[in-house]
Each structure stands twice: as C-alpha cells, then as structure tokens.
Amino acid sequence: METILNNISEEPLQHPFYSRSGMRNFPNFIQQLRNGSFDMQKSVNKHLQQYYNELNSQFMRASTLKGLACHTADDDSERVGPDPIFGWGLLNVKRAAEVIQDNTTNDAVISELTLLNGDTYSSSFSTSGNEPIAVTICWTDPPGTSQSGINNSNVAAIVNDLDVRLIAPDGSISRPWKLQTSNVNALAIKGINNVDTVEKIL
C-alpha cells in the first residue's frame, strides 16, 4: 500500500483548486471548469489503474473504476447517500487503493462480470458483523432515449436496468440508495433504482 500512496503524495499540490502556495486559485479553477478537465482526477484514475494492473495483470474496465470511486467516496455527513451536489461523495483515493489491495486477500471483492438479458448473479459471503457492509454495482450503458433537454426527467433513459439487493440470513432485504425522482434535492431514500448506472448499498 505504501507504494501507491508515495507515488501520489505530490498530486494535491497540482490540484486545480489550489496553487502551490496553498492559496485558493480561482482563475485557474474557473479555467479548469471551462475546459472541462481536472488533471487531478485523471492522475488519480491513472494511479489506481496502474496499481490494479500491478496486482492483477490487467486494467479495470471504465465502469469498474467508476464503481470503485463511488464505492469508496467519503459521503457528505449531512446527507447520507447520493445528492445533487456531491454525488456519491468526495474521492478517497487511499480507500480506493485499500479496496484494490483487499481484493487480493479476499477482504473485498472487485468483480467484472457480463450479464445477458434476463440473467441474474448472486454471491454469498460471511462477515463478523463488526464492520458495515457496502455493495456497489456499476455498468456502462449504451445511449438511451433522448430526454430533449429536460432536466431531471422522471422517465428512465438507461437501456439496461440492473438492480442490486442484499439479503440477510433472516431474509431481510437491503436496497440501494437513490435520489427521489420527484424531488432530487430532497434527502436520498432506499429502494429500487431504475434510472442510474451506479447502485450502492450501505
């Protein structure tokens, strides 16, 4: 773990939000927003891909990297679950690298699967019950039906609707967090999500 953390230790100094002196660099930040590029994010993704490749002799799919980033993000403490401001939270590269490492020792699971229409996938695991369980699925979806510029439409635009659920030994079912389609600014709720390509259970 020390290797990847040492490799990225200088990256925050180059973050577009701050200059090397630590002062907020608003002109640079605005320019980065206009350009639509955040070098820090790209650099972090590159390092996570390299680390995963070192341990697994292959790179992650784009959806796996996205799922890992969402799975390990630091959630906003005031609004549990996704929200329209922070999404799944702030990127936590250390935690993402730890999950990659834990995958090699079976303390975490990163799976890249292919499902055909109508297929289901299930997996069983045991836990000590001392730590929270988190499950995330993420997939790359082909373009769906155009919403004609409508923001926050209630009509699902995804083509492949995957659903994740966690079933406890007593039969109780945990469902993923989701935004309320009737009011995305409201607190997230748990339930069946038919509009997103990331689903996360905490």
CA dist 144 to 158, 172, 188, Å? 5, 33, 24
- The span from the CA of 107 to the CA of 201, in Å, is 17
| Residue where the block lists tokens 């030994």 | 169
| pLDDT (0 to 100) of residue 27 | 45
What is the pTM assigned to this prediction? Answer: 0.77
Phi first, then psi, for residue 73 (nearest 5°) are -65, 150
pLDDT (tens digit, 0 to 9) for every residue of the chain, 202 residues total? 222 333 333 333 333 333 333 334 444 444 444 454 456 667 788 889 999 999 999 999 999 999 999 999 998 878 888 988 888 888 888 999 999 999 999 889 999 998 888 889 998 888 887 888 899 999 999 888 877 777 767 778 889 999 999 999 999 999 999 998 888 889 999 999 988 999 999 8
Specify the DSSP class assigned to residue 196: -
| pLDDT (0 to 100) of residue 8 | 34
Quote the Cα angle for 84-177-85, to 5°. 10
